[in-house]
Amino acid sequence: MILAVFSIIIIIMLKRFLIQIATLFFVATLFGLTLKQFGVSLIYSVPFGIMLQFGIYYAYVTALNAYVELRNKKLENERIKEFSLQGIEVTCPCALKKTEFVPIVLNTNNTYKCNTCQKNISVYIVPETALITETIANITLPTVIPTEEESNGNS
């Protein structure tokens, strides 16, 4: 059973390899026959065709890798930009009390330049804690039964 699966995998791999080799030689032969029209011998043009295909393949793989790397770097930059977009609205301590949105990064000293007074302002982040209280929405109130007088008065 295992041997059968193994041999099938080998056959598939061998088939793929043979198809690739056949394609390589086919294209190289076509290339050689084309060059033959211009008086180039097949002895030179066919090996050159094979080499050329390897060269093109290498260039393609290199370009693809470069593209993927560039795209990954771009995505990483976007992620960083998104992170740095987190900020808070702060009011400048100057007389004009201008409110501005300042990006905040927790592990650095956050400073910004006020657009109105052109002074450098430091932003201090003071974490505060508070106990979260449970809501009383689930408490059921006892039903009020009207007295005899109240029910007589209503009717």
Least distance CB 125 / Zn ion (angstroms): 19
* Candidate residues 94, 111, 146, 151; the one interacting with Zn ion per rule CB under 5 A: 94
Burial class (CB in 10 A: 0-12, 13-18, 19+), 49: buried
Choice between 90 and 92, CB closer to Zn ion: 92
* 7 scored as a contact of Zn ion (CB under 5 A): no
Give the interface segment with Zn ion, choosing from 16-24, 39-47, 90-98, 145-153 (CB under 5 A): 90-98
Choice between 52 and 102, CB closer to Zn ion: 102
Per the structure block, which two tokens stand in for 56?
Answer: 């093109």
* Candidate residues 27, 42, 52, 117; the one interacting with Zn ion per rule CB under 5 A: 117
Write the CB contacts of 32 (distance below 8 Å, at least 6 apart in sequence).
40, 42, 45, 46, 48, 49
Geometric angle at alpha carbon 82, from 77 and 83, rounded to 5°: 100
Q: How many residues does the chain have?
A: 155
Give the interface segment with Zn ion, choosing from 56-64, 69-77, 106-114, 124-132 (CB under 5 A): 106-114
Residue 26 and residue 37: Cα distance in Å, rounded? Answer: 17
What is the CA 55 to chain-centroid distance, rounded?
Answer: 32
* 91 scored as a contact of Zn ion (CB under 5 A): no
* 116 scored as a contact of Zn ion (CB under 5 A): yes
Q: Catalog residues that contact Zn ion under the rule CB under 5 A.
A: 92, 94, 114, 116-117
